[in-house]
Amino acid sequence: MISELKSTAEKKMKKSVEALNNDLGKIRTGRAHTGLLDHVMVDYYGSMVPVNQVANVTLVDARTIGVQPWEKNMVGKVEKAIRDSDLGLNPASVGELIRVPMPMLTEERRRDLIKVVKQEGEAAKVAIRNLRRDANSSMKDALKDKLISEDEDRRGQDEIQKLTDKYIAEVDALLVQKEQDMMQV
């Protein structure tokens, strides 16, 4: 009973950390990386699909992303989708290749992005704490129904707390790493 609750809570906490990691990947640093365009959606014959499903996304150099649509008629649509995204990028097409240069981040913009990073981190921590609360309440219910003893309840809550501490430490480590990446010029 307790091991099931613990493993379920651990899986969900792990997913919260992975979701945070994905969200942090979308917040740009000064360097180019192909994952930046993952959530940019393009109109492909009436349906909205991610850029990487209609084009080959590569790194041209450390500060430039290259996007090469598989169909020639998609060049304009992909370029427009990247320009209209909330990333603040200004793509330029060179024949069939769309070059997306990464603009330099100003100090003020970096500080704003760090605030966003911290908000994302706090949301992940809240999600992890909510999972702890849910697991603990499930154990309390099991104790009430006499499925587990008080000792098992206490031991289970301690184990859930250790899991919570572990995953919150992972979130903190991700945040510190992202802040360092963002403050690098």
- Binned at pLDDT 50, 70 and 90, residue 169 comes out as very high
- Binned at pLDDT 50, 70 and 90, residue 159 comes out as very high
What pLDDT is recorded for position 30?
A: 64
Q: Is the pLDDT of residue 80 over 80?
A: yes
What pLDDT is recorded for position 185?
A: 57
d(CA 122, CA 116): 10
Q: Where are the domains of the chain?
A: 2-26+106-183, 34-101
What integer best gives the mean pLDDT of the chain? Answer: 87
d(CA 96, CA 174): 37
Assign a CATH topology to domain 2-26+106-183: Topoisomerase I; Chain A, domain 4 (1.10.132)
% of the chain surpassing 90 pLDDT: 32
% of the chain surpassing 70 pLDDT: 97
pLDDT 10s digits, 3-35: 888 889 999 999 999 988 888 877 766 667 777
d(CA 29, CA 182): 5
What CATH class is the domain 34-101? Answer: alpha beta
Q: Average of pLDDT values for 50-58?
A: 89
> What are the C-alpha distances in Å from 53 to residues 20, 61, 166?
23, 22, 36
